Structure 1
Amino acid sequence: MPQMAPLYWLVLFFFFLFSLLLFSTMNYFIKPFEKKDHSMKKPTLNFKIWTL
């Protein structure tokens, strides 16, 4: 739609950049799950996770 005003496109462009920046920072700083430490739980050699 090139008939729209260029300032409107500029506002939309800055809104898109702000949304992308906000999404990236939230994705980087907020982790949904804590990382589990598996060093304490080591299965033995004959331990079967599933059986038929």
Structure 2
Amino acid sequence: MPQMAPLMWFNLFVFFSVTLILFFIMNHFLKPYYKIHLPTLAIKFKKLNWKW
């Protein structure tokens, strides 16, 4: 039945959209975060000795 083909493509599009949204949501919440500690960086730069 050719009149059913648009419904099949719509179902495939919805399935693809939902899986893509779930993929981005999971990547957002499961991503490891690397925090830069600014006080430790400031201490490292203050301890540099430029005189040999």
Greater share of helix residues, 1 or 2? 2
Tell me which interval the TM-score lies in, with the shorter structure as reference length.
0.5 to 0.7
Q: Distance in 2 between matches of 1:15 and 1:32?
A: 28
1:29 Cα offset (Å): 0.5
TM-score between both structures, scaled by the size of structure 1: 0.53
Percent of aligned pairs with the same residue? 49
Question: Aligned pairs, how many?
Answer: 45
Could you say which residue in structure 2 is the equivalent of 1:18?
Answer: 18
TM-score between both structures, scaled by the size of structure 2: 0.53
Q: Distance in 2 between matches of 1:36 and 1:26?
A: 24
Stretches of 4+ aligned residues off by more than 4 angstroms? 32-37
Could you say which residue in structure 1 is the equivalent of 2:47?
Answer: none
1:26 Cα offset (Å): 0.3
Task: Give unpaired runs (5+ residues) of structure 2.
Answer: 45-52
